[in-house]
Amino acid sequence: MIVPLSHVLAVAALLFAVGGVMAAARRSILLILIGVEFMLAAAGLAFAGAGLAWNNLDGQAAVIIIMGLASAEAGLGLALLVHGRRGGGTDRADSYDRLGEES
């Protein structure tokens, strides 16, 4: 492995932080989903780097699992978004507050 593990982990952490801030700060459901994808990608990157570093294939298996999970999550999230828009809703995450006490 050419790149030291610490660099990989640093990039993964940066990516995770970017995704986290995006998920927290964005209003649109679509972009929140993208933020979550970022975080998942960061986790996948950390798994892949660690798998290479320790010569262990389990890390790459975990990457595949994460990819499946991320695509399923993205599909489900987008389906929910489409459904919400059809029902006259918006893509604003804040306006889906019917279960909250302060509505």
Nearer to another protein, 2 or 94 (CB): 94
Task: Give the three-state DSSP class for 92.
Answer: strand
Contact 43, 12 (CB under 8 A): yes
The number of C-alpha atoms within 13 Å of 94 and in the hemisphere containing its C-beta is 5
Q: How many residues bind another protein (CB under 8 A)?
A: 13
The least CB distance from residue 2 to another protein, in Å, is: 27
Contact 70, 37 (CB under 8 A): yes
Residue 98 as a binder of another protein (CB under 8 A): the answer is: no
Binding mask 4-43 for another protein (x = CB under 8 A): ----------------x--xxxxx----x-----------
Nearer to another protein, 25 or 67 (CB): 25
Neighbours of 15 (CB within 10 A): 19
Dist. CA 24–CA 40, nearest whole Å? 15
Residue 102 as a binder of another protein (CB under 8 A): the answer is: yes
Q: Which residues bind another protein (CB under 8 A)?
A: 20, 23-27, 32, 93-94, 97, 100-102
